Amino acid sequence: MAGDDMQRTAYNEQEAERMEQRKLGTQGLAVSAQGLGCMGMSDFYGSRDEAESIATLHRAFELGLDFLDTSDAYGPFTNEELIGKAIRGRRDKVVVATKFGLMRAPAAPGSGWAPITGICGRPDYVRSCCDASLKRLGIDCIDLYYQHRVDSEVPIEETVGAMAELVRAGKVRYIGLSEAGAETIRRAHAVHPLSALQNEYSLWSRDPEDEVLPLLRELGIGLVAYSPLGRGFLTGTLKSPDDFTPDDYRRNSPRFQGENFRKNLELVERIRGIAARKGITSGQLALAWVLAQGEDIVPIPGTKHRSYLEENVAAGSVAISREEMDEIATVLPGGSASGSRYPESMMKFINR
């Protein structure tokens, strides 16, 4: 091996060794303390470049980040295909989490973001989705399989019963739910132990703290925190809703619209001030804050750029003092964001 290559390998191995691991649930699932949200590589947040997305995934592996998050709904379908391509020959380096149950129709070209057409938790649907995801991902077992949204027409026992069958068949290792209500989590966990609940959780989305997080801790279930950067807002790099491309999902989201956007910008400016005093970015402060909320919580920031990934990974070594935590709490107390986190048409799918 050439000298330079050897140096680079040694450097990467050191970096990989530094990446903390966290346990999700009590069934044995261990992942890097920070995962990588892959949704934006195929969907939701404007323009994208496949080569840079794949380079970002490979850089994540070099940095010891092994926990990838996708769903059959992202694209739809194309995000799983992209992950499949990126992990070929690297299966042993990654923990693949995907989801079923949120149905979307592909958007017609130029027509904007593809809307949700339904939620399905029927056992036959669960089984067929799993087979299709395995095929797109090019793997024979999904490490963590979530129901993306709870189907209120199908008893959770039936859906989770089908997921448990997939575990017994060796097609899935661990299971979880996303945005489920407390009662549903309890009933699901009684059928088959859940390893994780995936919910939005960040400085400006604190809903799990009231009821769900205490329940997860009682039952021994991990929390995977999605949109930990507030869909990019908490990084302080978004300046105007007019900057979004026509197909950017955030155009539909109340927090990113008009007066809400302006008010939220004021909050982020204050968070940016605290971060600047520490010599870090506001995005790093937002991630360090999530990481500090408990070792049972794993944030999965999303990016399709290597530079952002490296910045986000570096947040893993940021410590926040008690005084800084108190200051953050006065700037952004729970529930202080302006605007709900989903449009009304999508709020009905959460917490049920």
Known catalytic residues are 74
Decide whether 237 or 336 has the Cβ nearer to ligand NAP.
237
Quick one: 64 exposed, middle or buried, by C-beta within 10 A (0-12, 13-18, 19+)? buried
Q: Please list, in sequence order, all residues whose beta carbon lies within 8 angstroms of the beta carbon of residue 223, skipping any fewer than 6 positions away.
A: 196, 197, 198, 199, 201, 208, 212, 213, 216, 294, 296, 297, 298
At its nearest, how many Å lie between ligand NAP and the CB of residue 150? Answer: 11
Decide whether 22 or 305 has the Cβ nearer to ligand NAP.
305
The runs of H, that is alpha helices, within 139-281 are 156-168, 182-191, 212-219, 258-278
Element (DSSP H or E) covering residue 7: helix 3-18
At its nearest, how many Å lie between ligand NAP and the CB of residue 180? Answer: 11
Residue type, 149: R
Decide whether 6 or 72 has the Cβ nearer to ligand NAP.
72
What are the b/e assignments for 286-305, b being 16+ CB within 10 Å? Answer: bbbbbbebeebbbbbbbbbb
At its nearest, how many Å lie between ligand NAP and the CB of residue 136? Answer: 15
Q: Which residues lie near ligand NAP (CB under 6 A)?
A: 37-40, 45, 69, 148, 178-179, 198, 226-232, 235, 237, 283, 300-305, 308, 311-312
Decide whether 148 or 173 has the Cβ nearer to ligand NAP.
148
At its nearest, how many Å lie between ligand NAP and the CB of residue 300? Answer: 5
> What string of DSSP letters covers 26-91?
TTTEEEESS-EE-GGGTSSSS---HHHHHHHHHHHHHTT--EEE--TTTTTTHHHHHHHHHHTT-G
At its nearest, how many Å lie between ligand NAP and the CB of residue 3? Answer: 32
Q: Please list, in sequence order, all residues whose beta carbon lies within 8 angstroms of the beta carbon of residue 190, skipping any fewer than 6 positions away.
A: none
Classify residue 225 by its DSSP letter. E
At its nearest, how many Å lie between ligand NAP and the CB of residue 30? Answer: 19
Residue 145 β-bridge partners: 98, 175
Between CA 264 and CA 227 the distance in angstroms is 16
Decide whether 1 or 309 has the Cβ nearer to ligand NAP.
309
Q: Which residue has the tokens 């900057």?
A: 243
Decide whether 8 or 348 has the Cβ nearer to ligand NAP.
348
**Residue 154, helix vs strand vs coil:** coil
At its nearest, how many Å lie between ligand NAP and the CB of residue 212? Answer: 14
Task: Evaluate whether 41 touches 73 at the Cβ level (below 8 Å).
Answer: no
Decide whether 170 or 279 has the Cβ nearer to ligand NAP.
279
